[in-house]
Chain A
Amino acid sequence: MSILEIIVFLPILAALAIGFGAPARFTALGAAGINLICGLVAAGTAKFTDIEVGGFSFVHESSRPLLDDPELALAFGLDGISLVLLILTVIVTLAAVWVSPAEIKIKGSTKLYYTSSLLISAGALGAFLSTDLFFLYAFHELALIPTFLMIGVFGFGENRKRTAWTITIYLGVGSLILLAGLIALFLNLGGNTFDLATLYETASNDVNIPAETQSWIYLLLLVGFGILVSLFPFHSWAPDAYADAPTPIAMLHSGVLKKFGIYGLIRIATPMLPAGAEKWANLVLVLLLGNIIILGLATIAQKRLDRMLGYSSVMHMGYVFLGVVAGTTIGMSGAVLLMFAHGVSIALLFALAGSLRDRFGSLEFEKLGSGLGKTVPKLGLLFGFAAFASIGLPGFANFASEVMVFFGAFQPMEKGDSLGFLQWAAIISLWGVVISAVYMLRAYRNIFKGPLASPEPRAADLTWGERIPVLLLIVALMLIGFVPEILLKYLRPALESLTLIGGGG
């Protein structure tokens, strides 16, 4: 039993234990805490020198063959990319399990609440750590039903049932399209094994999938992953879902689970189908501009904080796509780092928004009034931090990663080259930073600054218990913001081997 297997199965076992009557909050927090420690230990002890197994660490200890023909194994491994996402997941999971459980006090069943959160976390961990194509897909789906139940049972607003149906059907259809693409890819790579390392090898050496085939498979994968990651124009499920979902689900889904789509593109689609990636690169550039500019403007127009955060989360996915399309090591590193930074910062924002909703009963800007910074100064201060991080102010991980993404877009240029489509897209995307400053700062000013409404709303400030998960997230953001090298040193070799495998970027 390797440490990675413990990390993936601990939340599932904890969920089972809760089902059999273990104290829910205690067990869930315990599992999330142990997982955070295990995650850091795994990151610390991983060895990335072993080139033979495709750059994955821990592969030998944690591979259990299940089928011979085709080769199928429950196998986990860690490389630089999955390491970053592993850390992201364990941090956000702990924070999500910890945040205020006010909504369960209203509606009962703590069991369902905590088991669902744990299962979503287990699904994300399993997906990020699997080195077997089949389980990489299968684990992601583990989150589908818990999300469905949580939004329907504990969600907010009149429309929560409708929202739960929308996200489930949308993501279900997306997964089916993705599955079709993955099966096609798998068969075109020989159809003998689901092992990622072997598939990379096949993709680079033996089999040259004809460019035409690559292009339609890539399109299937792009649509499938794109739906999961809310790429424009497949984004419409996301803002409502995050707005209506209970706080931990909004944190886990927008912070962690959504990253699976990008992870799939970086891990599977781009390296295995380089010609396909090249063919559709311009389409992706147009779509990501849709994410950044069109949805950015839509974000400004929102009248409720939770919906605004939902849109902003969708909008930021545009930058990640930009890094992926750039295809250079620095751009890709930026993209993965941005997945981390965005995951932590959006989880932070949703956690604070949840605290606001618990205290004031609504997240509509008009009803919240203004000047709440005087009523709840600590909440206001922390929200300020979160907003600055989200805009991408230096000192936060978001800044480091966004800068890398933009640099990455310009890196392929030689001296004297004129600007290509990629570079123009990057220049237009830069305006997204201005857009996000507009809506974030406006929201911050409207809610926390200005004169207090009369009669003065009364509310207790954040207690220490509530501050801990928030501080955990802020510390993670600032740590990586000041010393991005902590994660970058793992990313570079992993990405370089992938880009090489894909026949150059």
Chain B
Amino acid sequence: MPVFYLEIIVVVLGLVMLMVDAFVKLEDKRHIAWIGVLGLICVFFLLFKVEWPTTTESTFWKFYDHEEGTRGFSLFYKGIAVLCTIIVLIMGAEFRGVIQKYIAPPEPGAHPQSGLGEFFALPVFACAGLMWMASASNLVSIFVALETVTITFYVLVAYMRRNVGSLEAGVKYLILGALSTGFLVYGFTWLFGITGSMDLAEIKTALASENVNVAAALFAFGLIIVGLGFKVGAAPFQLWIPDVYQGAPTPITAFLSVASKSAGFIVLLRIAGCFLSSAYLSEKIGAVLVVIAILTLLYGNLAALPQKNFKRLLAYSSIAHAGFLLMALASPPGKSGGLNSPAVVISFYLGAYLLMTLLAFLVMTAVRNTQEDESVDAYAGLARRSPFLAFALLIAMASLAGIPLTAGFFGKFFVFKLAFENGASWILIAAGIIGAAAGFYYYLKIVASMYWAEGDDEADSISVSIPSKVTMVLLMIGILVAGVVPNAILSLLG
């Protein structure tokens, strides 16, 4: 099956879901989510069956990356997008009660779940955009894919339309997102102006030639980093993250923090790669990246310390992890290949990040079903109310904090190894160590709250649906296995 069928299948799947929502009378609209989950599971397995083109004459392949060397990466990021969407749909099904409360039409007689169907269909469309982004090798296709995703997110973030927090998050995301898109497009036009091409491979050659206009190229990179920095949550473009993450519906927050971030990183890897391979630019671009990485590491980790709201804490944690990813990107590449290349390290980190972050959000969704409160204190005594959820969250937090024998540790370990090996600046490494140390505190704060607090013995135990439970168990196994056998993730990179 040709590789680009994957995106087509996903788009058709989304359309089917919309049609079912419109024309089939369903008592429980959760079934739409199950259609999506099953469809995407099929797509996930199809990822291992794709064929690559033998002739690339047609114009289409100019927009779709098919290079021998990067095929594994494209598929890996497509896989991340699909897996993430599957889990987000399962989370959404669990979360439906909360969504319903804020979108149910006030007039009597309407379907109580009216409007829920789109909540499950939209992430599938976003998934198609994310998958395309993983293969986009042309400024035009990058931009279109990016906007497909972002516009879907504008809707999803503000989905709980009778909830002020969600609306506020939606408006913030819309305004700042549109602004950053503006920067990005402007950067792209400059890049086109300098190199005379939209194709990344040609841009790379043009930037490496000696008559490149360094000042203009730097300016273009500055504009692009503003736009992409916004998407991945790099300081100083991270200001929207805490508010939007806190206000958005929890499954969408998870989607934003994993899928949107990893898609942002693959684009950043591709574009920054063009600049870094140019002898005239690499030093200055590297310095910019180092500064951004240091700022992101310090801001994300230190600002997370005093947080009292769990969701907001995870928002800062997402910034912090972006910091570690940028640290890998900013380590000037030395001898290439394997774990010495930033691309491999970043991909591994994102794979691990997917496992642990989605596990944390799954637990959060389950807890949110029984109580409004999202503060850290609300998790007090969770170990007694639901030992299973507490243990799942314990594993997620241990991995996020980077405790050995979890996937998160290997992620950080590879980043630090890369930084040392490639002679990254001491300040960058020190910022990384400070960040990791701070992480111990704010992640373990959750653990302490769950296990130490006397808690409310009267509170009900929390019921978790079977699909959520199965997903949590799979994610836990994934975290622990990848924590001992890193090849579990690395081999997927091809």
Contact = CB atoms under 8 A, between A and B. Distances in A.
Contact of A66 (B339, B394, B486): B486
Nearest to A152: B452
A315 B21 CA distance: 72
Contacts of A452: none
A203 to B, nearest CB: 18
A137 interface: yes
B441 interface: yes
30 contacts: A19-B391, A66-B484, A66-B486, A109-B383, A137-B404, A139-B404, A140-B404, A141-B403, A141-B409, A142-B404, A142-B405, A148-B448, A149-B451, A152-B448, A152-B451, A153-B452, A164-B448, A168-B444, A172-B440, A173-B440, A176-B433, A176-B437, A180-B420, A180-B429, A180-B433, A183-B413, A183-B417, A187-B417, A187-B420, A187-B421
A19 B383 CA distance: 12
Given A138-B405, A176-B436, 12 more contacts: A112-B383, A134-B413, A141-B403, A141-B405, A142-B404, A148-B448, A149-B451, A152-B448, A165-B441, A173-B440, A177-B433, A187-B421
Given A69-B339, A184-B420, A191-B421, A144 B437 contact: no
A109 B455 CA distance: 14
A74 interface: yes
B447 interface: yes
A199 to B, nearest CB: 15
Contacts of B420: 180, 183-184, 187
- The listed residue with most A CB atoms (<10 A of its CB), out of B404, B420, B485, is B404
Closest 5 CB pairs of A and B: A138-B404, A172-B440, A141-B404, A152-B452, A69-B338
Interface in B476-494: 484-487, 490
Interface string A223-250: 0000000000000000000000000000
B398 interface: yes
A176 B417 CA distance: 13
A67 interface: yes
A128 B417 CA distance: 23
Contacts of A179: 413, 416
B424 to A, nearest CB: 12
Interface string A156-183: 0000010011001100110011011001
A138 B394 CA distance: 18
Contact of B448 (A112, A161, A191): A161
A70 interface: yes
A475 interface: no
B484 A74 contact: yes
A500 interface: no
- The listed residue with most B CB atoms (<10 A of its CB), out of A19, A140, A161, A179, is A179
Interface string A121-146: 00000000000001001111110110
Contact of A145 (B387, B394, B452): B394
B485 A66 contact: yes
A288 B420 CA distance: 31
Nearest to B419: A183
Contacts of B416: 179-180, 183
Nearest to A141: B404
Contacts of A140: 404
A71 B485 CA distance: 12
Contacts of B441: 165, 169
B405 A149 contact: no
The binding surface of chain B is classed by DSSP as helix
A152 B380 CA distance: 13
B24 to A, nearest CB: 41
A161 B404 contact: no
Interface in B388-419: 391, 394, 398, 403-405, 409, 413, 416-417
Interface string B462-487: 00000000000000000000001111
Interface string A181-196: 0011011000100000
A3 to B, nearest CB: 20
A322 B452 CA distance: 40
Interface in B425-452: 429, 433, 436-437, 440-441, 444, 447-448, 451-452
A464 to B, nearest CB: 34
Nearest to A111: B387
Nearest to A108: B384
B452 A168 contact: no
Nearest to A134: B413
Contacts of B405: 138-139, 141-142
A145 B448 contact: no
Interface in B337-371: 338-339
A461 to B, nearest CB: 34
Contacts of A139: 404-405
Contacts of A164: 448, 452
A277 B110 CA distance: 78
A139 B413 CA distance: 14
Interface in B175-211: none
Given A142-B404, A176-B433, A169 B440 contact: yes
B452 A161 contact: yes
- The listed residue with most A CB atoms (<10 A of its CB), out of B398, B409, B441, B452, is B452
Contacts of B452: 149, 152-153, 161, 164
A249 to B, nearest CB: 14
Contacts of A165: 441, 448
Contacts of B403: 141, 144-145
A172 B437 contact: yes
A149 B447 contact: yes
A466 B485 CA distance: 42
A234 to B, nearest CB: 15
Contacts of A69: 338-339
B299 to A, nearest CB: 19
B427 to A, nearest CB: 14
A131 to B, nearest CB: 16
Contacts of A169: 437, 440-441
Nearest to A155: B452
Contacts of A186: 417
Contacts of A187: 417, 420-421
A148 B444 contact: yes
Contacts of A149: 447, 451-452
Contacts of A137: 404
Interface in A449-485: none
Contacts of A161: 448, 452
A367 to B, nearest CB: 26
Contacts of A177: 433
Given A137-B404, A172-B437, A183-B420, A145 B486 contact: no
Nearest to A149: B451
A149 B448 CA distance: 7
Contact of B447 (A70, A111, A145): A145
A168 B485 CA distance: 26
Contact of B487 (A67, A111, A168, A180): A67
Contacts of A72: 486
Interface string B59-95: 0000000000000000000000000000000000000
A153 B451 contact: yes
Contacts of B485: 66
A164 B452 CA distance: 11
Interface string A410-440: 0000000000000000000000000000000
Contacts of A109: 383
Contacts of A74: 484
Nearest to A160: B452
B322 to A, nearest CB: 20
A179 B404 CA distance: 11
Contacts of A168: 440, 444
Nearest to A173: B437
